[in-house]
């Protein structure tokens, strides 16, 4: 297919159609569908942010729930205490997440942690965040705190869910554009070089610490902003959700299912996981044991990924439909 001499790939056509579907989907009068899509796009956004660190740099991070939780808690508490506008809260949550991520990354890379050692270290940070959040009374302790609601667009508080739908859609489009630019930039080439062979990358002059921290900082900033969005959307902050390992598991599974180190793979993987999980919730016998069934589902998906889709769904589609 060509337009005025410019080739249009099937991938671009499918992406364009997908964007149109998401834009006009709220015209279908279903609040349930809008809520489902908001959460699906949020997880796609978070998965895309993890993809910078785990997909392009190749560092298995299990601490992203800490960045998500810290971003959500800071923006939520500032909105609660000082009436911080929600739009500012997105950047505050992202900034706090970035500072925390850079601190953890600097310590980890200073002691040359990588692979499973880096994963365990970041996992410990998530668990510490959950314990601290549960024990501090001024942030609500284990019960959390509600953010008072008032109809105020400046504070990013709306009666209808539709504005949140388009806000997270814009955030997803922005992060996908940034990842696309990253993939085709010098920084992206350096990150991939570090992922493939760290010693070789260092031997040709790549500053390992600088580019690792750049990946960690950008990923943590975007994840923290995602946490801030969810705090403003749900009007509630609670440690057992914000610092939950389930969030990290969804990021990992979405990335690996769709295709790590690709632009569209994490989004595709996250949407597939979200709708499969929602389908399980619709099964009558799954109501009482939904958490257990979800974990079984994740385990089965991991096994299937390893066996049938080691490079993700996107690589299979690109081979079949180049």
Check residue 139 and give its pLDDT: 67
pLDDT for 322 beyond 80 = no
pLDDT tens per residue, range 190-242:
999 999 988 888 888 889 989 999 999 999 999 999 999 999 898 888 887 88
Residue 90 or residue 159, greater confidence: 90
Percent above pLDDT 70 for the chain: 87
Confidence of residue 283 (pLDDT cuts 50, 70, 90): low
Q: Where are the domains of the chain?
A: 2-320
Contact criterion met (CB below 8 Å) for 123 and 56:
no
Task: Tell how far CA 99 is from the center of its chain.
Answer: 17
Contact partners, residue 84, CB within 8 Å, separation at least 6: 75, 78, 92, 155
pLDDT tens per residue, range 28-42:
877 888 999 999 999
Check residue 127 and give its pLDDT: 81
pLDDT for 3 beyond 50 = no
Confidence of residue 186 (pLDDT cuts 50, 70, 90): very high
Check residue 294 and give its pLDDT: 64
Q: What number is the average pLDDT over the span 87-102?
A: 92
pLDDT tens per residue, range 46-80:
999 999 999 999 998 888 989 998 998 888 888 88
pLDDT for 286 beyond 60 = no
Q: What number is the average pLDDT over the span 266-285?
A: 79
Confidence of residue 5 (pLDDT cuts 50, 70, 90): very low
Distance CA 85, CA 65 (A): 23
Nearest 5°: CA angle at 134, between 129 and 135?
100
**Highest-confidence segment of 112-116, 154-158, 217-221, 276-280:** 217-221
Confidence of residue 176 (pLDDT cuts 50, 70, 90): very high
Check residue 90 and give its pLDDT: 92
Q: What number is the average pLDDT over the span 284-305?
A: 65
Average pLDDT over all residues of the chain: 84
Residue whose structure tokens are 């990021």: 251
Check residue 292 and give its pLDDT: 67
Q: What number is the average pLDDT over the span 3-7?
A: 46
* Secondary structure string (H, E, C) spanning the chain: CEECCEECCHHHHHHHHHHHHHHHHHHCCCHHHHHHHHHHHHHHHHHHHHHHHHHHCCCCCCCHHHHHHHHHHHHHHHHHHHCCCHHHHHHHHHHHHHHHHHHHHHHHHHCCCCCHHHHHHHHHHHHHHHHHHHHCHHHCHHHCEECCCCCEHHHCECCCCHHHHHHHHHHHHHHHHHHHHHHCCHHHHHHHHHHHCHHHHHHCCCCHHHHHHHHHHHHHHHHHHHHHHHHHHHCEECHHHHCCHHHHHHHHHHHHHHCCCCCCHHHHHHHHHHHHHHHHHCCHHHCCCHHHHHHHHHHHHHHHHHHHCCCCHHHHHHHHCC
pLDDT tens per residue, range 97-141:
999 999 998 988 888 887 788 888 888 888 888 787 777 766 666
Does CATH place domain 2-320 in 1.10.760? no
Confidence of residue 291 (pLDDT cuts 50, 70, 90): low
């Amino acid at each position: 297919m060509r337009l005025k001499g410019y080739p249009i790939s099937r991938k671009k056509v499918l992406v364009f159609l997908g964007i149109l579907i998401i834009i006009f989907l709220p015209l279908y009068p279903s609040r349930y569908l809008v809520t489902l899509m908001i959460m699906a796009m949020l997880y796609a956004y978070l998965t895309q942010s993890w993809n910078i660190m785990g997909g392009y740099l190749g560092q298995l991070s299990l601490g992203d729930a800490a960045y998500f939780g810290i971003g959500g808690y800071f923006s939520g508490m500032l909105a609660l205490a000082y009436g911080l506008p929600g739009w500012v809260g997105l950047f505050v949550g992202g900034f706090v997440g970035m500072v925390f991520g850079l601190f953890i990354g600097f310590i980890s890379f200073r002691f040359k942690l990588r692979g499973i050692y880096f994963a365990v270290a970041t996992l410990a940070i998530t668990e510490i965040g959950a314990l601290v959040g549960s024990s501090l009374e001024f942030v609500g302790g284990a019960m959390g705190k509600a953010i008072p609601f008032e109809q105020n667009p400046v504070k990013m508080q709306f009666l209808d869910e539709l504005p949140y739908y388009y806000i997270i859609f814009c955030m997803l489009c922005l992060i996908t554009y940034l990842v696309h630019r990253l993939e085709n930039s010098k920084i992206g080439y350096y990150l991939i070089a570090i992922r493939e062979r760290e010693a070789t990358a260092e031997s040709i002059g790549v500053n390992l610490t600088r580019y690792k921290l750049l990946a960690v900082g950008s990923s943590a900033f975007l994840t923290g902003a995602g946490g801030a969005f969810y705090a403003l959307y749900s009007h509630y902050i609670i440690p057992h959700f914000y610092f939950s390992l389930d969030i990290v598991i969804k990021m990992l599974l979405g990335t690996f299912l769709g295709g790590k180190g690709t632009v569209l793979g994490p989004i595709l993987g996250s949407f597939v996981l979200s709708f499969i999980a929602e389908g399980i919730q619709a099964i009558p016998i799954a109501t009482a044991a939904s958490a257990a069934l979800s974990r079984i589902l994740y385990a089965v998906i991991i096994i299937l990924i390893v066996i049938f889709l080691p490079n993700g769904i996107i690589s299979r589609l690109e081979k079949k439909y180049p």
